[in-house]
């Protein structure tokens, strides 16, 4: 597939990689965003970034590359970096803290991708911290339920 | 480069608890508490959390919430290292 010219960018922020669907869906989301002309930058801890880079060694889907989670938070906090879109993967209470932080720091549109086992509880928590754009499905090992929800998003950013 | 908490002389007061519980813990434990937004920098660390985020002061130490993606939220007590006066001058006590 030939992607269009990248005119906008997105942060894809990942949590702990304990659930197998996360890495696969993050790369898939990067592909979807690139198809919309949005260059994805991935952020995670050391293991998360290693999983991404191992799965896509040539960087076909990693677009703008990978960054350390703490470095991204620092850059957002200090105004050195921002994105048109921030997509935060949420499968734990700690992830909702990162979501709240991105909501506070970014001027871009923020979307939560909620997965794991307690999807209803996490969706409620996302709303409590101020995020009303949520894509959610119960997914731990099988990415397809959440992939279907991601495919249901017609555009990630307004034209 | 972000600071590394592992290189600091920290004491864990609460471990792997929900963010809200950590926030309430600090407010209950510390007599001197200040509130900040996410991203506030203290001791080289940018704070993660749901605003308003409490920072407690105990003698010459600060008490903060520290979040790790794979381990959840902690409450840490860290030497103030000159940050206490900055906090007192920059922030309004609750």
Q: Is the CB of B70 inside 8 Å of chain A's CB atoms? A: yes
Contact A94 B51 (CB under 8 A): no
Query: Average pLDDT for residues B4-32, to the nearest whole number?
Result: 93
Element (H or E) spanning A67, and its range? Answer: strand A65-68
B72 interaction partners in chain A (CB closer than 8 Å): 92-94
Predicted local distance difference test score (pLDDT) of residue B5? 82
Quote the pLDDT of residue B91. Answer: 86
> Would you place residue B31 in the very low, low, confident or very high pLDDT band (cuts 50, 70, 90)?
very high
| pLDDT of amino acid A39 | 96
Contacts of A73 in chain B (CB under 8 A): 2, 39, 46, 48
pLDDT tens readout for residues A57-99: 999 888 889 999 999 999 999 999 999 999 999 999 999 999 9
Domain range list for chain B:
7-90
Contact B72 A45 (CB under 8 A): no
Computed over every residue of chain B, the mean pLDDT equals 93
Nearest chain B alpha carbon to A43: B69
pLDDT digits (tens, 9 = 90+) for B49-62: 999 999 999 999 99
- How far from A54 is each of A8, A27, A68, CA to CA, in Å? 26, 11, 16
Which residue is listed with tokens 């002061």? B57
Can you give the pLDDT at residue A154? Answer: 94
Give B-chain residues touching A15 at CB under 8 angstroms. 69-70
Residues of chain A with pLDDT under 70: none
All residues of chain A having their beta carbon less than 8 Å from the beta carbon of residue B64 are none
| Chain A with chain B: Cβ pairs closer than 8 A | 71
Q: In the prediction, which pLDDT does B86 show?
A: 93
Answer whether B50 touches A (CB < 8 Å): yes
**B73 part of contact set with chain A, CB < 8 Å:** yes
Find out if CATH 3.40.50.970 is the number for domain A8-150: no
| Residue B6 contacts residue B62 (beta carbons within 8 Å) | no
Beta strands per DSSP E along B11-88: 11-17, 32-36, 41-42, 45-46, 53-58, 61-68, 72-79
Distance, in angstroms, between B17 CA and closest chain A CA?
9
Based on DSSP, count helices (H) and strands (E) in chain B, helices before strands: 2, 7
Q: Where are the domains of chain A?
A: 8-150
- What pLDDT is recorded for position A91? 97
pLDDT of residue B6: 79
Chain A residues with CB under 8 Å of B19 CB are 93-94, 96-97
Q: Is the pLDDT of residue B94 over 70?
A: no
Question: What dihedral angle (degrees, nearest 10) is formed by the CA atoms of A99, A103, A109, A110?
Answer: 10
CB neighbours of residue A57 within 10 Å? 8
């Amino acid at each position: 597939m030939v992607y269009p010219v990248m005119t906008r960018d997105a942060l894809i922020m990942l949590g702990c990689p304990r659930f197998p669907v996360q890495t696969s869906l993050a790369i898939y989301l990067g592909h979807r965003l690139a198809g919309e002309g949005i260059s994805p930058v991935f952020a995670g801890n050391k293991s998360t970034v290693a999983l991404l880079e191992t799965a896509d060694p040539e960087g076909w889907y990693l677009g703008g590359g990978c960054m350390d989670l703490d470095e991204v938070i620092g850059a957002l906090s200090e105004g050195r970096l921002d994105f048109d879109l921030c997509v935060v993967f949420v499968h734990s209470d700690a992830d909702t803290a990162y979501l709240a932080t991105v909501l506070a720091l970014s001027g871009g549109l923020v979307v939560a991708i909620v997965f794991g086992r307690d999807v209803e509880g996490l969706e409620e928590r996302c709303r409590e911290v101020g995020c009303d754009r949520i894509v959610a499905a119960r997914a731990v090992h099988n990415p397809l339920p959440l992939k279907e929800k991601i495919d249901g998003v017609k555009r990630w950013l307004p034209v | 480069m972000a600071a590394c908490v592992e290189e600091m002389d920290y004491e864990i007061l609460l471990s792997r608890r929900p963010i809200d519980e950590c926030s309430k813990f600090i407010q209950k434990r510390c007599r001197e508490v200040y509130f900040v937004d996410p991203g506030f920098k203290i001791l080289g660390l940018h704070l993660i959390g749901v605003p308003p985020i409490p920072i407690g002061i105990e003698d010459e130490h600060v008490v903060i919430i520290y979040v790790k993606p794979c381990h959840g939220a902690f409450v840490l007590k860290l030497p103030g290292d000159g940050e206490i006066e900055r906090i007192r001058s920059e922030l309004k006590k609750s």
